[in-house]
Amino acid sequence: MAEKDRSALPPQWILLTILAGLGMVGPFSIDTMFPAFAQMAIDLDTTPVALQQLISVYLLSFAVASLFHGPLSDAVGRKPVILGGTAMFVLASLACAVAPNLSLLLVGRAVQGLSAGAGQIISRTMVRDVFADARAQQVMSQIAMIFGLAPALAPIVGGWILVHGSWREIFWALTGLGLALLVLVWLLLPETHPPEHRVPLHLGPLFASLWAVWCNPHGRRLALTAMVNFAGMFLYISSAPYIVVSMLHMGEQDFWVLFVPLISGMVIGSWFSGRLAGRVKGARLATVGYWISLGGGAANLSLMLVPAAQALPWAVMLLPVYTFGVAMAFPILTLAMLDLFPANRGAAASVQSFVSLVANALIAGVLAPLVAVSLPALAATALLLTVVGYLQWRRHLQVTGLQPPSPPGMVPPPADGL
């Protein structure tokens, strides 16, 4: 959307609220269920390990659909894809609320995943349609702040719903959330991708745009970097039932003790990233974010190796430091990916989301059950993921001619290009 057309936009606080709300649907649909796992296991006659597949199925279908949301929005416009996806999410949530058994609930969750990504992926693309440079980073950071509240609020809301009803009411609440967003998008969200900028809607070019993004070495590297950047944090999120119930010996209304520290660091880190936009170059800011994550992750591992510290408040005390660094880097990694493909931003957003979602599905279904046996094992795995992400980021800066700055205490290179 050109500068002169910005008058068509609603007030910025409304725009940010709608875009962030669309982004919140994905994590909210995961985390509200965690407090209900014990009740669902009894009601559906299954095990918590089997219920973990409700997350994996959701994320895998989310990942597959994410390959199409972005390119479709490049061809037919952003708003129609969001409206269609949100309507499907409403119907899927309704199906989950009345599912009589685990098999049909898994089908409903798969359809939820197919639809929930439309708003989350395309909302990022819309930011880049409307805003540029430092302003885009500021807006993306503001949306990330609101978006970051979802994982913290979701288990609290889920626990509160369980006090007054059963796990089915959680899906009725998701149905209501989807309906509210559908109305807001229909009435207030403008189209930001005008017809003259659209690409033909043909399967061949659609898959070609996705393949071109993946075959671009910089695009592929950034997609993998963004994936690993969030993986350590998602390991803690997907391990929440093990951590809160099995390790900390708390109840279904107590998931806030993990999610509030996790998300508070993310919200503050997003705010900090937005405040520094235009003052500190993005590549440098993301690198500093990785340093903070590495430092926080290493300190957390050291603390968890002390048996006496494997209880509250020590078990969660350093998690905000870790997630602060993750959130500082997130807007820069997202915008860097979109800026590589200005004519196919939807495809770029889809590839980046697909890679992250497949990884998150594997984390929830495979890695979390394997390593969520102790707090030291979780801390070590999260730190290892962050190390991999940092090395990927440094490699990207080097091959693109942006030499990363040296960590504190080291002699900087002659020219860092930042």
Q: What is the CATH number of the domain that holds 163?
A: 1.20.1250.20
Q: Which of 114, 68, 69 shows the shortest CA–CA distance to 91?
A: 114
* Domain contains 18: yes
Token couple for 411: 């002699």
pLDDT of residue 147: 65
* Domain contains 404: no
Q: How far is CA 408 from CA 47, 53, 261, 398, in A?
A: 48, 42, 26, 19
DSSP state of 242: I
Q: Which of 338, 355, 331, 213 shows the shortest CA–CA distance to 280?
A: 331
Token couple for 269: 């880190």
The Cα–Cα gap between 223 and 221 comes to 5
**Whole-number CA gyration radius for the chain:** 21
**Residues of the domain holding 83:** 10-399
Q: Which of 209, 222, 229 shows the shortest CA–CA distance to 69?
A: 209
Which residues are CB-contacts of 279 (< 8 A; sequence separation ≥ 6)?
none
- String of DSSP letters for 170-210: HHHHHHHHHHHHHHHHHHHPPP-S-GGG-----HHHHHHHH
pLDDT of residue 214: 87
Say whether 280 sits in a helix, a strand or coil. Answer: strand
- Residue by residue, pLDDT tens for the chain (418 residues) are 444 345 566 777 788 788 878 878 887 887 788 788 888 888 888 887 778 788 888 888 888 887 887 778 878 888 898 999 999 999 999 999 999 999 899 999 999 988 887 877 787 778 777 777 677 767 777 776 666 677 667 878 888 898 888 899 999 999 999 999 999 999 988 888 777 777 776 667 777 878 888 888 888 888 888 888 788 888 998 888 889 888 998 877 788 888 888 888 888 888 888 778 777 787 888 899 999 999 999 999 999 999 999 999 999 999 999 999 988 888 788 888 878 887 777 778 778 878 887 888 788 778 988 998 899 999 999 999 999 999 988 888 888 766 544 444 433 333 333 3
The answer to whether the predicted template modeling score (pTM) of the entire model surpasses 0.75 is no
Q: Is 231 exposed, middle or buried (0-12, 13-18, 19+ CB in 10 A)?
A: buried
* Domain contains 413: no
Which residues are CB-contacts of 259 (< 8 A; sequence separation ≥ 6)?
31, 151, 152, 154, 155, 156, 237, 240
pLDDT of residue 137: 67
Q: Which of 27, 48, 24 shows the shortest CA–CA distance to 36?
A: 48
119 close to 86: Cβ distance less than 8 angstroms: yes
* Domain contains 406: no
The Cα–Cα gap between 34 and 323 comes to 20
pLDDT of residue 148: 65
* Domain contains 416: no
The Cα–Cα gap between 258 and 137 comes to 28
The Cα–Cα gap between 171 and 43 comes to 15
* Domain contains 3: no
- Letter for the amino acid at 372? A
Q: What total number of domains does the chain contain? A: 1
* Domain contains 52: yes
pLDDT of residue 298: 96
pLDDT of residue 92: 95
First to last CA, the chain: 29
